[in-house]
């Protein structure tokens, strides 16, 4: 990723994290930590390859005891690896490639905790992203393999984002999918379209797209959308594949401002799952939708210290008695909001940051989403993350 001083940034069309890919544009995605320039070496017939990586760990505490699989069990604090990954890529010539391998964890607001080993094994494996790219021109390329999603305003892994944890709206978005993607730029406009397996389902019935217009260096707008063209009626054991969301349609509209010290991305999200898919999965009887909005912001105090913030709101349509499905994890008829603050220090390849997040939900029938008994309607978390990038 090419990152300029004082907050100006370029974003990768494939959302491929923080490595320098050949086609780079502004998207609605929040800027990651700045990776140092890649190491390069000659690889014989493969040409010149770039290598980058990150090694980081985190500590987490929350007011309600952890619940979930592979968790520390009846505890309120834990520590683990957040990123242990190496990126190797070839970004010149007609045939290029991108490989990312290692261990990782994705902490999400309002969700259960999973250990890094459990999360890596039950999501995208030790090679979470890898694809071949055919780039006949500087303005057009085609990528085939395991790709980053085109949907959303946050990247997948913690070091790619302003905040350590992903937000509430992230829960309706996929992260990595298998498929084919075409990317094209024409002046200030960039378009991408992908045929893929949605929420990593191994059923290739999803189409997603992204359109971005860079008004100028500081302002851009984006539209993202996609959905399941058919119906996928089976359940999954993978953490990465949520059956209801794998049958949804999703649309995000947003705006990004990148000033000398301040960057802000507000966006609105709408999702909908048809009644037929909900009935087939035994999750309800009627069409159900979510409506969410978020503001992501980052302010650079110095060239090494910044403070990021995120505020979100999301609602789940229906009631507990009308056959609506639980799409958000807070239940039909629920409303939830969150607030996250993340101060960050980065000096070269070293970074350290803290985070405080709060989630509150209005849920029917006095149900809850947090704690070992799942009856709490709020969740307060604090986190520390530190590591090295090269």
Dihedral pair phi/psi, residue 19, rounded to 5°: -95, 160
Better-scored residue on pLDDT, 112 or 169: 169
* Contact between residue 49 and residue 72 where contact means Cβ atoms under 8 Å apart: no
Domain presence at residue 3:
no
Determine if residue 56 is left, alpha or beta; phi over 0 gives left, psi from -120 to 50 gives alpha, anything else beta: beta
Burial of 334 (0-12, 13-18, 19+ CB in 10 A): buried
Domain presence at residue 110:
yes
**How many CB atoms sit inside 10 A of residue 94's CB?**
10
Domain presence at residue 192:
yes
- CATH number of the structural domain spanning residue 361: 2.40.160.10
- 372 token code pair: 């070992």
The pLDDT assigned to 17 comes to 33
Dihedral pair phi/psi, residue 333, rounded to 5°: 80, 10
The residue-averaged pLDDT of 320-338 equals 95
Q: For tokens 């609506």, what's the residue?
A: 324
143: pLDDT confidence band, cut at 50, 70 and 90? very high
The residue-averaged pLDDT of 41-69 equals 88
Residue by residue, DSSP assigns 104-161 as E---BTTS----HHHHHHTTT-S--EEEEEEEEETTEEEEEEEEE-S--SS-SSGGGS
Better-scored residue on pLDDT, 7 or 328: 328
The residue-averaged pLDDT of 351-375 equals 86
Domain count, the chain: 1
The pLDDT assigned to 9 comes to 29
Domain presence at residue 278:
yes
- pLDDT higher than threshold 50 for residue 340: yes
Better-scored residue on pLDDT, 375 or 77: 77
% pLDDT > 90, the chain = 78
Supply the range of the domain harboring residue 172.
15-389
% pLDDT > 70, the chain = 88
Domain presence at residue 128:
yes
Distance (Å, rounded) from C-alpha 155 to C-alpha 204?
22
* Contact between residue 297 and residue 309 where contact means Cβ atoms under 8 Å apart: yes
């Amino acid at each position: 990723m090419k990152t300029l001083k004082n907050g100006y940034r370029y974003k990768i069309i494939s959302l491929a994290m923080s490595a320098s890919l050949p086609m780079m544009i502004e998207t609605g995605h929040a800027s990651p930590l700045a990776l140092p320039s890649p190491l390069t070496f000659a690889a014989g017939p493969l040409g010149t390859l770039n290598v980058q990586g990150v090694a980081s760990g985190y500590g987490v505490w929350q007011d309600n005891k952890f619940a979930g699989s592979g968790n520390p069990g009846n505890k309120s604090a834990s520590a683990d690896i957040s990123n242990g990954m190496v990126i190797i890529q070839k970004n010149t010539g007609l045939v290029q490639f991108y490989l990312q391998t290692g261990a990782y964890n994705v902490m999400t607001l309002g969700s259960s905790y999973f250990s890094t080993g459990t999360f890596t094994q039950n999501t995208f494996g030790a090679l979470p992203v890898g694809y071949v790219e055919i780039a006949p021109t500087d303005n057009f390329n085609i990528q085939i393999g395991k790709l980053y999603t085109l949907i959303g305003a946050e990247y997948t892994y913690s070091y790619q984002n302003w905040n350590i944890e992903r937000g509430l709206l992230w829960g309706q978005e996929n992260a990595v999918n298998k498929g084919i993607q075409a990317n094209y730029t024409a002046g200030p406009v960039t378009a991408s379209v992908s045929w893929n397996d949605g929420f990593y389902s191994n059923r290739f019935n999803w189409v997603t797209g992204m359109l971005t217009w860079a008004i100028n260096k500081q302002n851009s707008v984006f539209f993202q959308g996609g959905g399941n063209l058919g119906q996928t009626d089976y359940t999954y054991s993978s953490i990465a594949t949520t059956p209801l969301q794998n049958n949804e349609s999703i649309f995000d509209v947003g705006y990004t401002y990148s000033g000398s010290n301040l960057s802000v991305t507000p966006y609105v999200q709408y999702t909908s799952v048809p009644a037929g898919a909900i009935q087939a999965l035994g999750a309800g009887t009627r069409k159900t939708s979510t409506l969410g909005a978020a503001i992501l912001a980052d302010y650079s105090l110095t060239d090494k210290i910044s403070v990021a913030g995120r505020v979100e709101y999301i609602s789940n349509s229906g009631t507990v008695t009308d056959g609506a499905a639980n799409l958000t994890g807070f239940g039909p008829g629920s409303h939830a909001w969150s607030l996250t603050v993340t101060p960050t220090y980065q000096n070269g390849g070293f970074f350290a940051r803290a985070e405080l997040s709060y989630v509150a939900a209005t849920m029917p029938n006095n149900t809850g989403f947090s704690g070992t008994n799942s009856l709490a309607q709020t969740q307060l978390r604090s986190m520390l993350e530190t590591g090295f990038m090269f």
